[in-house]
């Protein structure tokens, strides 16, 4: 009798992943008195087939599926608690100190639980790019979010400068090739030219030419292009307007996002007057004066430069 009731409650709970409450059970199982239902729920909670959720003042029961139960079966209650919190942190992961605050457990207990969970291959620890000294815990099968890994620009928690350099050079070359008329390299396109590449075109170019295996989003490409803009290698141009609707052209149907065009700049090799003289890059410039051991009259760099 009680076994049949238990399985009925369990089935109902599994059928409603958002949880069920006492009123729901009373309505669903009218043949049982409330007392029996409550006892049944208690039994299920005890052997871990149901779990309690609190939503405001309401208390809900949620069914725990078999695989989850198997996983949790060998765990102590502390471990279960820690596991739940780690599970809730999702792909962001959770830091041990936050875990301590949330669970109110002692440091030693938490460390033991984490070790146990790691041994059972239920959780893993990852290092965050933002806080390289912090260890974040998350479930073993969860892929860390780009906030934690730093996105495609990071390899082993370090910014991959070579990768960025390579890719930005490719982007620059692509933009350069489309910035000036082909038949006459000295000419420029007219002011209303709309054939300059956009970030989505550059992304397509990178994907089609298999320049990298990493999957780059348009946002990633834009980050790279912004960097090139700050390098004064390219220039951002306001996108063309759709004359009929007054809306901006954009791909993917998202009208809110501005699709900037990019144009390469001709002036890249800067010839500053400081390039001329040795003082520009002189390592002892600040110590150079009229008197003392370092003076322009005795300067070795000047000597080399003048005999060059």
* 94-95 vs 135-139, strand pairing mode: antiparallel
Which of 27-35, 74-82, 188-196, 252-260 is the region at the interface with other proteins (rule: CB under 8 A)? 188-196
Rounded Cα–Cα distance for residues 62 and 13 (Å): 5
226 lies in the site for other proteins, by CB under 8 A: yes
Q: Is the dihedral of CA 137, 138, 144, 146 positive or negative?
A: negative
Residue 248 binds other proteins (CB under 8 A): no
176 vs 302 by CB, closer to other proteins: 302
Residue 218 beta carbon to other proteins: minimum distance, rounded to whole angstroms: 16
Q: How far is CA 154 from CA 127, 129, 164, 187, in A?
A: 12, 8, 10, 40
| Per CB under 8 A, 279 contacts other proteins | yes
**Looking at beta carbons, which pairs linking 273-280 to residues 24 or more positions away fall under 8 Å?**
277/305, 278/302, 278/304, 278/305
Q: First-to-last CA distance in the chain?
A: 103
Does position 291 interact with other proteins (CB under 8 A)? The reply is: no
Range in contact with other proteins (rule: CB under 8 A) among 54-62, 72-80, 112-120, 271-279: 271-279
Give whichever of 3 and 191 is closer to other proteins, judged by the CB atom: 191
277 part of the interface to other proteins, by CB under 8 A:
yes
Residue 51 or 222: the one with the smaller Cβ distance to other proteins is: 222
Q: Is the dihedral of CA 94, 98, 101, 102 positive or negative?
A: negative
* d(C-alpha 160, C-alpha 154), whole Å: 5
Select the span of 61-69, 77-85, 157-165, 211-219 touching other proteins (CB under 8 A): 157-165
CA distance 297 to 307: 15
> Applying CB under 8 A, which residues contact other proteins?
130, 153, 158-159, 161, 164, 181, 184, 186-193, 223-224, 226-227, 230-232, 235-237, 265-267, 270-277, 279-281, 285, 288, 290, 295-297, 299, 302, 306
């Amino acid at each position: 009798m009680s076994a049949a009731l238990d399985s009925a409650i369990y089935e109902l709970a599994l059928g409603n992943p958002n949880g069920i409450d006492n009123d729901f059970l009373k309505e669903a199982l009218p043949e049982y008195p409330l007392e029996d239902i409550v006892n049944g729920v208690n039994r299920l909670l005890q052997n871990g087939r149901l779990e309690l959720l609190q939503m405001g003042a309401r208390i809900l029961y949620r069914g725990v599926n078999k695989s989850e139960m198997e996983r949790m079966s060998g765990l102590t209650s502390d471990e279960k608690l820690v596991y739940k919190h780690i599970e809730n942190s999702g792909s962001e992961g959770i830091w041990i100190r936050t875990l301590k605050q949330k669970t109110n457990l002692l440091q030693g207990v938490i460390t033991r639980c984490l070790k146990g969970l790691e041994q059972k291959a239920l959780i893993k620890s990852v290092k965050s790019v933002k806080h390289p000294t912090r260890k974040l815990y998350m479930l073993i099968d969860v892929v860390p979010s780009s906030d934690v890994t730093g996105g495609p620009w990071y390899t082993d928690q370090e910014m991959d400068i070579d990768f960025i350099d390579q890719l930005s050079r490719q982007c620059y070359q692509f933009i350069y090739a489309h910035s000036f008329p082909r038949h006459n390299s000295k000419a420029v396109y007219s002011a209303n030219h709309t054939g300059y590449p956009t970030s989505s075109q550059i992304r397509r170019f990178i994907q089609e030419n298999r320049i990298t295996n990493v999957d780059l989003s348009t946002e990633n490409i834009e980050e790279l292009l912004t960097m090139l803009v700050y390098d004064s290698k390219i220039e951002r141009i306001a996108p063309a307007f759709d004359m009929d609707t007054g809306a901006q052209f954009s791909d993917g149907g998202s009208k809110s996002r501005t699709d900037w065009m990019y144009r390469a700049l001709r002036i890249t090799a800067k010839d500053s007057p400081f390039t001329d003289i040795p003082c520009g890059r002189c390592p002892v410039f600040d110590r150079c004066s009229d008197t003392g051991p370092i003076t322009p009259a005795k300067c070795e760099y000047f000597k080399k430069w003048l005999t060059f």
